[in-house]
Structure 1
Amino acid sequence: MNLKKLQNGSDIRGVGSEGIEGQPVNLTHRAVYSLACAFVEWLRKKTGKNDLRIGVGRDSRISGPRIQETVCEAMTDLGVHVYETGLSSTPAMFMTTVTKGFLYDGAVMITASHLPFNRNGLKFFTRDGGLEKEDIAALIDLAEKDDFKKGKKGTAEPVDFMSVYAGLLADKIRRATGEERPLLGMKIVVDAGNGAGGFFVEKVLKPLGADTTGSQFLEPDGLFPNHIPNPEDKTAMAAIIDAVKKNGADFGVIFDTDVDRAGAVDSQGHVLNRNRLIAMISAILLEETPGTTIVTDSVTSSGLAKFIKAKGGVHHRFKRGYKNVINESIRLNAAGQDSQLAIETSGHGALKENYFLDDGAYLITKLLIKMAQMRKEGKTLFSLIADLEEPAEAQEFRLRIQNEGFRQYGEKVIAELTEYVKGDARFQVAPDNHEGIRVSLGREDGDGWFLVRLSLHDPIIPVNVESDSAGGVKKITKILYDFLRRYDQLDLHLMKEYIEA
């Protein structure tokens, strides 16, 4: 049994159901059963406890019920007391380990985030947070040994933790605003993308007084018939923009499948995601904690860096990967440098005040608090980022490496590009590169920057290009293309098409 291919960083990811040709199910009963048993044994060693209590939840994927049943079967075979939370968000599953009245020893979330309907996976939590990459590798080693001793049968019972979790969010808004129904008179629509985020309407917004007429795709449907539940997806964002305008809403919210990410839209249809979302939550946190450090991934805009500095904060640009930015923020705090926020442009945002948990619903809760407060002053939420400088153009190219030794080949490309730009006065290399290479160019050479890095897991070199001038991205892309065309194992057709368009 080879389970190593199921590891995706700090998660387990694989194919959970048939439906796409050439993608056979590899999250089989045996694989899931062994991984669940391995988590039990790993957790017993970590906690020193034999009598464990573990929560198990899932998103709306069609393979979720089957996988949940297998996880519960494995854990009860090993004597665990299992608490089935049913349809849940990923952040809520972590919260089962730290919430009074529950305090489970660990939790498992069955999800593959925004991936296609046939995919699924497992996320594991303890009270210290999500497992790290090395922890998942240890689980896989245990699972592949498949040496688990069954004892006295454990128990499994359903619990409604999502109502408790939603109540925590609603109570936070009430405490911060001093009102029982602070959203009264506001129309807020939610697009859950048929994932797990529908609870936010019935259990958070409505009890706080909001009119949620026009909210859509709240029913869980693991085939995702309307659009991919992903705040970065253009079709998904067009759907929430349309819902806001059609219903005359003050605010629109969109969640990904398992609600660890979110995006938003104002009454005019202006999108709040990526750099704008980072700027807005940064502005709120810098009011609460002046001078704090904001950790972001590597593809944030130059304008965002200026915005954070102007607000009195410190911008710390780090690597892609939500665990990378979270762990870097935790490291800074441990070293004595206050960092209240770790956030990726993808929307994964984790706050120090919330266990450094990437939680889309909590992020929206912070925005709603500020929105309610500013409404009393006759101001809008978007006025917080009125002075955010945004690029005139931005483009991403994902260049496929057509070489079996893709990592070594990609590293060679980036190393040689680094030497090349250092020897050319047109280029200014960023002083704080933590992955790949980020280079700025002057007005005559495109008036912007590019970042070239190697994907964390795939044979891909992502290239991000941004410019403050119309036509600048094409100019920068042409300069970069002229260098990269020497590498015959690099698929540059997307760049070439863009330049020639």
Structure 2
Amino acid sequence: MTTLRATDWKQLQNGSDIRGVALEGMAGEPVNLTPEVATTLGKAFVTWLGQTLARSPETLTVAIGRDSRLSGPALMQAVAAGMTALGTRVYDFAMASTPAMFMSTVTPGFDCDGAIMLTASHLPFNRNGLKFFTAQGGLSKPDISRILALAADHDFAIASEPGSLQSHDFISVYAQQLVQGIRQGVNHPHHYDRPLQGLKIVVDAGNGAGGFYATQVLQPLGADTTGSQFLEPDGQFPNHVPNPEHATAMAAIRQAVLAQQADLGIIFDTDVDRAAAVDAQGRELNRNLLIALIAAIVLTEHPGSTVVTDSITSDGLTQFIEQDLQGVHHRFRRGYKNVISEAMRLNEAGQACWLAMETSGHGALKENYFLDDGAYLVSKLLVELARAKLAGNTLGDRIATLKEPAESREFRLAIAAADFASYGTAVIEELQAFAAAQADWEVVPKNYEGVRITCRSPQEDGWFLLRLSLHDPVLPLNIESNVSGGCDRIRQRLLTFFAGFDRLELTPLQG
């Protein structure tokens, strides 16, 4: 029996996921996600699932998969042992992706009652975690709290006969779904089965779980994947951080695209729920550019519909979506679950929304269960790439009118206060009052997070957003400007304001 206190269990919660330290090796980070803890979490999940579905754990089928992390095999075995101890049938998918685990709950022939992915996304090698799914999607924050409460109580009904553990190659099933979707989407008049024939596409999996996309999706479709890199799973992540937001990672795929003279480069994060791309000219298609490109595709399919994004997207993206594409841009909050939930809420309220996307690379489409799936997202790009080639166009033509800022910077101001949330909220409120008193600054209406200010001076010509971090004692500050030196001018004015707050670490802003 585990000896963790209830408060220790709560510390494993990271929003709608569970995350912890699974391996030693980092100073000041004691291991708290042990195999024993994982076994208890397996029991807690099937107990919660049984209560939710009004069924006993013995009648449930749950799939489990993992990414390339070193702690994955041991933790996966432990979670499975916890579930089978309560009589649940468990499917072992071995190496998988987070989106594939969800798809196991809606794929005929599997129709799993629940699924678990062992991953900690792009975090360091010593971390790991659990993401949970049912056919309704990923679990919510209250669901995770309930599972952790069940783990803390440790009151489980052990089955008289353990459940079975069966191995399945589900990633091949999932890959075939993507293959069929691309074939149908392109509908090539001469090469239906191989619609990517004649295209060179480079994949960078960052030594995570995404290598299958090159071998099981692109190659069967006829693409030349020469030059693809870091496809081999390696939980040490020896080449670069598997994160499409990271500059080193994007530089790696960009270099590969240019060296191979490829038509497109694709990069995934560790568990393939995020992605980015690089076009034939070496332009990085991430953040605002990737949202713009996917929005252009989606708004062609669903004219006039709404695109939900997080709070730090650019003014140029809003103009592109609303003026050039004749859609609606609903700029919401940071956090991919927030963005997806808002899109679903809008649809329920009667406002058509087919795309929810965060600048981090999380992108979810209504046509795909609002699942943030990096592989599905780039598959949409590949359909568009193949169609563009047939028409004598390029992928970049779709976003030719997108206005990009001249400069963009982010600063993270640490809060040294016990009640950091209250302190940060007070700073935001005072900044809003300060900005409202400036002749050339204007508080942006319909802002759902922090305070966003438009800077109308020709010397600044941009905007900034100050918000409270979702999890950390930090005030992230994003600044964009359409003129050279504009970010620095805005920064200097803000530095004067922030100087009045002695609990803020202003060093990042002073450089």
Compute the TM-score of the two structures, normalised by the length of structure 2.
Answer: 0.96
- Identify which of 6, 22, 45 aligns with 1:39: 45
1:421 CA displacement: 1.7
Aligned to 1:9: 15
Aligned to 2:411: 397
How is 1:39-438 mapped onto 2 (pairs within 5 angstroms)? 39-50=45-56, 51-151=59-159, 152-178=161-187, 179-310=192-323, 311-438=325-452
Question: What SS does the corresponding residue of 1:320 show, helix, strand or coil?
Answer: coil
Question: What SS does the corresponding residue of 1:3 show, helix, strand or coil?
Answer: helix
CA distance in 2, matches of 1:446, 1:16: 46
CA distance in 2, matches of 1:330, 1:171: 26
1:420 CA displacement: 1.7
Aligned to 1:467: 481
Deviations 1:53-80 (A, max 9, x none): 0000000000000110110000000100
Check whether the contact 2:22–2:128 (CA below 8 A) recurs between aligned residues.
Answer: yes
Question: What SS does the corresponding residue of 1:259 show, helix, strand or coil?
Answer: coil
CA distance in 2, matches of 1:452, 1:470: 21
Check whether the contact 1:3–1:31 (CA below 8 A) recurs between aligned residues.
Answer: no
CA distance in 2, matches of 1:442, 1:223: 47
CA distance in 1, matches of 2:413, 2:269: 26
- After superposition, the CA RMSD in angstroms is 0.8
Check whether the contact 2:440–2:457 (CA below 8 A) recurs between aligned residues.
Answer: no
Aligned to 2:30: 24
Check whether the contact 1:125–1:131 (CA below 8 A) recurs between aligned residues.
Answer: yes
1:18 CA displacement: 1.1
1:127 CA displacement: 0.4
1:426 CA displacement: 2.2
- Where has structure 1 moved over 6 Å in runs of 4 or more? none
1:49 CA displacement: 2.0
Question: What SS does the corresponding residue of 1:370 show, helix, strand or coil?
Answer: helix
Question: What SS does the corresponding residue of 1:116 show, helix, strand or coil?
Answer: coil
1:479 CA displacement: 1.0
CA distance in 2, matches of 1:226, 1:444: 43
1:445 CA displacement: 5.1
CA distance in 1, matches of 2:36, 2:260: 48
Unaligned runs of 5+ in 2: none
1:47 CA displacement: 1.0
Q: Which moved more, 1:160-169 or 1:425-434?
A: 425-434
Deviations 1:131-170 (A, max 9, x none): 0011101111111001112012101011000000000000
Check whether the contact 1:294–1:340 (CA below 8 A) recurs between aligned residues.
Answer: yes
CA distance in 2, matches of 1:337, 1:419: 33
1:190 CA displacement: 0.2
Question: What SS does the corresponding residue of 1:117 show, helix, strand or coil?
Answer: coil
State the percentage of identical aligned residues: 57
**Aligned-partner residue type, residue 456 of structure 2:** G
CA distance in 2, matches of 1:247, 1:292: 38
1:343 CA displacement: 0.4
Check whether the contact 1:245–1:269 (CA below 8 A) recurs between aligned residues.
Answer: yes
Check whether the contact 1:445–1:476 (CA below 8 A) recurs between aligned residues.
Answer: no
CA distance in 2, matches of 1:448, 1:227: 33
CA distance in 2, matches of 1:164, 1:427: 54
- Count of residue pairs the alignment pairs up: 497
Change (3 A) 1:424 1:443: closer
Question: What SS does the corresponding residue of 1:483 show, helix, strand or coil?
Answer: helix
1:412 CA displacement: 1.1
Deviations 1:448-484 (A, max 9, x none): 1000000011011000000000000000111111101
**Aligned-partner residue type, residue 271 of structure 2:** D
CA distance in 1, matches of 2:11, 2:418: 16
**Aligned-partner residue type, residue 313 of structure 2:** T
**Aligned-partner residue type, residue 35 of structure 1:** L
Check whether the contact 2:452–2:466 (CA below 8 A) recurs between aligned residues.
Answer: yes
Question: What SS does the corresponding residue of 1:383 show, helix, strand or coil?
Answer: helix
1:443 CA displacement: 2.6
Question: What SS does the corresponding residue of 1:142 show, helix, strand or coil?
Answer: helix
Deviations 1:229-288 (A, max 9, x none): 000101101100111111111110000000000000011111000000000000000000
Question: What SS does the corresponding residue of 2:125 show, helix, strand or coil?
Answer: coil
Deviations 1:384-433 (A, max 9, x none): 00100000000000011111211111111111111222233222111111
1:19 CA displacement: 1.4
**Aligned-partner residue type, residue 263 of structure 1:** A
